[in-house]
Structure 1
């Protein structure tokens, strides 16, 4: 059954009935040093082949990671995150790097764990400060389905307008083909967030000059919970990733003939990877391809065996 208010993959398999094995290597390797992050590492995003961003949900922390001898290591102690007023401890669950800045998705303020606070926050990634105040803040709480404070937004990604327009993406707000010019100051793409509470994905045009937003689309992933989202520009795939709740299953969505994101493939986790509490997932850019494969990285919120990062592969997109 499709959760109330969700559209898309009504006939796709549900968690536990995968269509196929992981398309990359079945093996994974540890990708961080022992005891570097501890628990709560929750979101990942590549900025470039040399830079991988990570966020911790408690305390809210942003890390800039670089490769160090085959593993990823922070280039400092990390940045403590705060809301735009300089207060609070955002429960940062997801992160994405775009041309408009670095954006984090949060589901609550750790200082008030009994209240849902589902927000997108923008931060200045060039700052050298140990503590970062959000330079932009969009409160989606009233627009999203009501969720327990700890089962709200878990993942965020960004999809460029160029892809959406070329694939005939439909704007559910206007009821017509998506027209970027209808949303002044939104930048050059839409921000998609995924919810743990119902497995839904919600696409927004953000007013980057203020705090306004418009929901453009609502998508069902076929998963009971979404822990991470990742748009793969080389293929146009939208990856929706679940954690140990769904045995580490992932679903791939593409824009269909009706202009909506719909599930086109379902994959198990890599065969040799344990059922970790993976809440973060990032796909390396095409420039990282070697021998037909490119790297992917998972973040384990539980820091099993004293490691939070593990790496694997996916096939490179055709040139």
Structure 2
């Protein structure tokens, strides 16, 4: 988030991890188009969030970028592979392709990525306030709060980008404006987080579709790709799962989920465990939760973790977990992005136990 756009003092943001296990969640049924035909059902009261326990990895955290490379507003991160990490800045909206350089991550110097690439809406206009990023089989997707060129108006949306080529700017190749399907929020309290969960994992865990009120059936949503998109709303800490029509701008809300936090800053799906992680920034002392599909087919919070003891309470708005193939000595890397660029650094790494 851009500090000068905040009407109130700056708040930290949090990213949440969600595992496929237990969240007794709201039954919010969105329609299969931009405007819902019926109001979402009232939320089912969520079970109490488990008490926070120690971070399930190493206590040490290391700086993972060179000083001054990104500045403030680096808001989301997502692994493409063990050696490629995507990061997004919310203002001015910029997408970075990062590659490993020893123990650090640096911008790729090929194909025009040295300074990152400016992001725009599909028609080439605007400066979408991109807060979250995720790499999927359908492309690179961002969750956005508003158009920074019209910063007083909320515009929660998901944008898709094709990242091949050497141009200096990217126009969205897909746009899903979720404004009419979500609660009305302030321009700076919108979609902070995004994750993608494959259909195969959802059906294996008997995930329940709150739109059809039956077991999730991917065939019910033509052209949605091979998974669902989970987005987190900062204003209320809720996570919303959507089937996005990849051939147009239609969408269907499939679930409404309680992250366990009053605000959510990032989401990360971990294939090895089936967890959907949710992260909250310094607003929640840098804690994370995991969510899993429970016996009723709903996502529910299964654990809450403190940040590593060796990390200060930074404004970490981004959170990503390295692929399971990188496990060594029982751990794998995790990356946090600090929106405030504390001590002139925006990226830090730590470890998470492999399970």
So what's the TM-score if we normalise by structure 2? 0.86
In the other structure, the counterpart of 1:223 is 261
Matches within 5 A, 1:41-56: 41-56=74-89
CA drift of 1:126 comes to 1.3
Q: Cα distance, 1:69 vs. partner?
A: 2.2
1:37-66 deviation per Cα after TM superposition (whole angstroms, max 9, x unaligned): 000000000000010000000000000000
1:26 to 32, 54, 59: 59
1:266 to 274, 291, 304: 304
CA distance, structure 1, for counterparts of residue 263 and residue 122 of structure 2: 29
Tell me, yes or no, if the aligned pair for 2:163 and 2:170 is still in contact at 8 Å.
no
How many residues align? The count is: 312
Bigger relative contact order, structure 1 or 2 (CA pairs below 8 A, ≥6 apart): 2
**Structure 1 segments of 4+ aligned residues over 6 angstroms from their partners:** none
Is 1:240 the counterpart of 2:278? The answer is yes
Q: Which residue of 1 aligns with 2:235?
A: 197
Gaps (5+ residues) in structure 2? 1-24, 27-40, 109-113
Match status 1:292 vs 2:330: yes
Residue 100 in structure 1 maps to residue 168 in structure 2: no
Match of 2:291 among 253, 256, 269: 253
Aligned to 1:110: 148
Aligned match for 1:207, one of 237, 245, 249: 245
Counterpart among 154, 163, 188 of residue 192 in structure 2: 154
Report SS of the residue matched to 2:158.
strand
Distance 1:200 1:5 in 2: 13
Structure 1 residue 86: Cα displacement: 0.4
SS in 2 for 1:280: strand
Separation in structure 2 between the aligned mates of residue 207 and residue 109 of structure 1, nearest angstrom: 22
Q: Structure 2 CA distance, aligned partners of 1:252 and 1:81?
A: 31
Partner of 2:38: none
Residue aligning to 2:49: 12
Shift in CA distance, 267/5, structure 1 to aligned 2, threshold 3 Å: farther
SS in 2 for 1:142: helix
Kindly report which structure 2 residues correspond to 1:108-187, keeping only aligned pairs within 5 A, or say none: 108-187=146-225
2 CA distance for matches of 1:7 and 1:89? 37
Task: Give the conservation status (yes or no) of the 8 Å contact 2:84–2:97.
Answer: yes
Give RMSD over aligned pairs. 1.3
- Shift of the alpha carbon at 1:19? 2.7
The 5 Å alignment of 1:51-62 reads 51-62=84-95
Is 1:37 the counterpart of 2:75? The answer is no
Compute the TM-score of the two structures, normalised by the length of structure 1: 0.96
Shift of 1:248: 0.4
- Runs (5+) with no aligned partner, structure 1: none
